[in-house]
Amino acid sequence: MLLVSAFAGFTPAQAQEIPREEVYYHSSSWGPPPGWNPLLPDTGWFATIMYPQLYLYSPYTDEWIPYVAESYEWIDKYTLEVKIRGDAKWWDGQPITAEDLKYTFELGKKYTIGDFSPFWDYIEEINAIDDKTVWIVTSEKKLNNFQMLSVLNTYFLPKHRWEVLEKDLGEKISTEFRDDDPEKIVGAGPYKLMTWTEEVYYYERVDDWWGKDLFGLPTPKYVAHRTFKDNIAAALAFEAGELDVMTHFTPKIWEIWEVKGLARRTYYASRPYYIGGDLVSVYINYAKPPLDNRDVRRAIAHVIPFDELISKAYFNYSIRAAAVPIVHTSPAAKFIDEDLVEQYKFEFDLDKAKKILDDAGIIDRNGDGVREMPDGTKLGPFTIQVPYGWSDWMMMCDIIATNLRTIGIDTTTEFPDFSVWWDRLARKEWDLVIGWDAGVGFNHPWNSFRWIMDPRLSHPAGNWENYENPDVMPLIDAAAKESDEAKLMEIYGQLQEMFLRDLPGVPLFYGAVWYEYSEDYWVGWPNEENGYWFANFWTWPSNMPALFSVAPKGQTPREPEWVDELKIPTSKIFADLAAAPAHGLVTVTRTVTKTETSVVETTVRQTVTETTTTTAQVTVPTMDVASVAGAGVVALIVGVVVGWLVGSRKKA
């Protein structure tokens, strides 16, 4: 039993003992919770389970489940219509409407919000056609089909509460407002924040939530997050049965069940144990000469012992990545230009690294063991840094720094707190770091090329290494609109050559999607054998089905039928797009029930007249059929992916 009445925020009715078997205990985040306002750069784990999104999405099966959305329809290649479920409601009884979604996304126009501001580079408007119908509208100039899809799996907020907050807070609504009073939060998900301290916080199941009739109720009555000082402390708690799931790095994780015989597992029972996610690279700061020198960067690439990093520091939890920003275990592997990779090939070879520098005239001129550029600029002192507590990456930094010193590049390690490290990246006050990219999903590999190479981006949205190459931009933009595979091959070939030539980053391996579970109290967690829906245990509500699949120990778990009944692949969404009207004028007839008359005009000249219980003729002018060939199969979720990726590594 756990006595929770002493925790901050409890009312007398909550001052009671919670049976251990009713709580799913989790650990992902480090440090005190930063708040539960999802607009903040970082929020308390599980916070977004409280808010709706149109669809759930799994990047590992590339499938979608309609959640608050009832259906979608491509009106034309510039307009995606989504119907919101009629019975979807906020906890206070107010209906979830198209105006809620419109209001939330438009906050990204007014203020800099990582989850919403980048969308407006790709969409023109989000229009509430009626209470339950939303149109996501783009234009030929901004066309990026996957960015349109990104709207589908982004949370949104209740307008009736947040517009009041906005009047009082202004831009502080996304920078300072924590929203940490559980009694004031208005959500629509199956769990609500119950209480919190800096060490542990609890969510309680909402037994009368709007989705009960369609989805049922998730199994655990309570979900709690515990915070630990480091990976070791978390691993000890996990082994002792104090946690049901965690997403932390643990050395030799397999020994817990193979040697100690405990009921613990990872997604795979054997090597590599974890699903591979985002591309992990060594980033080299282009904004700090002489690290912008191609020969220096190429020499750095040759001092990295890829196999040793994976086997020694990473315990074989992954495999070596391709030399370019394309995950070679994904369907996008077909775009890898093997001839270019062979031409620019880099392998671990200290002698090769020394020769590259020698041939470029970058030598030790005064015998102090540190090389100088031809103009006398010394190669160092530099630092390679990751946040303290990321023990696997800390070991990698030590190995790489040692090898850099061996070839005459003065490099040491530094491991600041995460907040300090994150701030340094934003200020460009760093030399080398290990970091992630945009990861796999419905937008790969375009998302990875853009994340690493697009000079229009900066930390945290991408281009951490401050790469400046204007030739990248038209290629990135062209790929986002192109569906012809031969043309995409040509575009990605040019991007790969620029990447291999300039090396804004050195790909290492695919980051393990940390996920360890215990069966002491709950069974039925997703794994390779049962194939249950799996997103990430820090992406909520997209991984919500996992909490419906588990069962108390001793009972038989099963995945709810609605997962298979409702899920659809990304390929179907794009097949529907291909079948959408491509040219001419299209007349759409629909009945609306607004009590007032209004006109909605969009930037692509679409007009909908709404009148009480009358039929409105909607005339939609579209572009020529040739331009529909550009309806892309490749694009990016920018704002959403930032929060997701920050979370994914912070939980390591």
Within this chain, do residues 618 and 549 fall inside the same structural domain, yes or no? no
Within this chain, do residues 396 and 496 fall inside the same structural domain, yes or no? yes
Within this chain, do residues 264 and 285 fall inside the same structural domain, yes or no? no
Query: Residue 652 domain-assigned?
Result: no
Q: Which whole number is the average pLDDT over 131-149? A: 91
Within this chain, do residues 225 and 199 fall inside the same structural domain, yes or no? yes
Quote the mean pLDDT of the chain: 87
pLDDT > 50? residue 218: yes
Report long-range pairs for 608-612 (Cβ below 8 Å, ≥24 apart).
608/127, 608/129, 610/129, 610/130
Within this chain, do residues 544 and 508 fall inside the same structural domain, yes or no? no
Tokens of 119: 């969308």
Query: Residue 236 domain-assigned?
Result: yes
Within this chain, do residues 411 and 507 fall inside the same structural domain, yes or no? yes
Specify the pLDDT at position 264: 98
Within this chain, do residues 423 and 475 fall inside the same structural domain, yes or no? yes
Q: What's the chain's Rg over C-alpha atoms?
A: 26
- Tens of pLDDT, residues 308-364: 999 999 999 999 999 999 999 887 888 999 999 999 999 999 999 999 999 999 999
Query: Residue 182 domain-assigned?
Result: yes
Within this chain, do residues 372 and 447 fall inside the same structural domain, yes or no? yes
Q: Which of 113-127, 458-472, 548-562, 606-620 has the highest mean pLDDT?
A: 548-562
- Tens of pLDDT, residues 537-578: 999 999 999 999 999 999 999 999 999 999 999 889 988 988
pLDDT > 60? residue 600: no
d(CA 368, CA 347): 27
Amino acid at 476: I
Query: Residue 650 domain-assigned?
Result: no
Q: Which whole number is the average pLDDT over 61-67? A: 94
Q: CB-based contacts of 117: which residues, under 8 Å, 6+ apart?
A: 108, 109, 111, 639
Give the model's confidence band at 230: pLDDT under 50 very low, under 70 low, under 90 confident, else very high: confident
Q: CB-based contacts of 391: which residues, under 8 Å, 6+ apart?
A: 230, 231, 232, 249, 251
Query: Residue 14 domain-assigned?
Result: no
Query: Residue 628 domain-assigned?
Result: yes
Specify the pLDDT at position 589: 41
Within this chain, do residues 446 and 518 fall inside the same structural domain, yes or no? no
Nearest to 610 by CA among 74, 71, 98: 98
Query: Residue 150 domain-assigned?
Result: yes
Specify the pLDDT at position 581: 86
264 and 257 Cβ atoms separated by less than 8 Å: yes
pLDDT > 80? residue 640: no
Give the model's confidence band at 16: pLDDT under 50 very low, under 70 low, under 90 confident, else very high: low
Q: Judging by DSSP bridges, how do beta strands 191-196 and 125-130 pair with one another?
A: unpaired
Report long-range pairs for 19-23 (Cβ below 8 Å, ≥24 apart).
20/521, 21/521, 21/552, 21/553, 22/220, 22/221, 22/222, 23/202, 23/220, 23/221, 23/222, 23/223, 23/224
- Tens of pLDDT, residues 320-333: 999 999 999 887 88
d(CA 408, CA 415): 22
Q: Which whole number is the average pLDDT over 616-634? A: 32
Specify the pLDDT at position 300: 98
Q: Which whole number is the average pLDDT over 82-86? A: 98
The neighbour count for residue 344, using CB atoms within 10 Å, is 17
Give the model's confidence band at 145: pLDDT under 50 very low, under 70 low, under 90 confident, else very high: confident
**DSSP codes, 453-477:** H-TT--TTTS-TT----TTHHHHHH
pLDDT > 70? residue 199: yes
Provide the whole-model pTM.
Answer: 0.79
Give me the domain span that covers residue 82.
64-156+585-638
- Tens of pLDDT, residues 472-531: 999 998 888 876 788 889 999 999 999 999 999 999 999 999 999 999 999 999 999 999
d(CA 161, CA 175): 17
* Among 565, 595, 629, residue at a domain's last position: 565
Domain CATH code at residue 187? 3.40.190.10
Within this chain, do residues 246 and 309 fall inside the same structural domain, yes or no? no
- Work out the angle at residue 584's Cα, subtended by the Cα atoms of residues 128 and 69, and round it to the nearest 5 degrees: 30
* Among 512, 531, 556, residue at a domain's last position: 512
Query: Residue 18 domain-assigned?
Result: no
Domain CATH code at residue 609? 3.90.76.10
Specify the pLDDT at position 582: 65
Within this chain, do residues 503 and 459 fall inside the same structural domain, yes or no? yes
Structurally, the chain folds into a number of domains equal to: 3
pLDDT > 70? residue 606: no
Nearest to 448 by CA among 574, 332, 329: 332
Within this chain, do residues 316 and 453 fall inside the same structural domain, yes or no? yes
d(CA 119, CA 456): 14
Tokens of 246: 């965690």
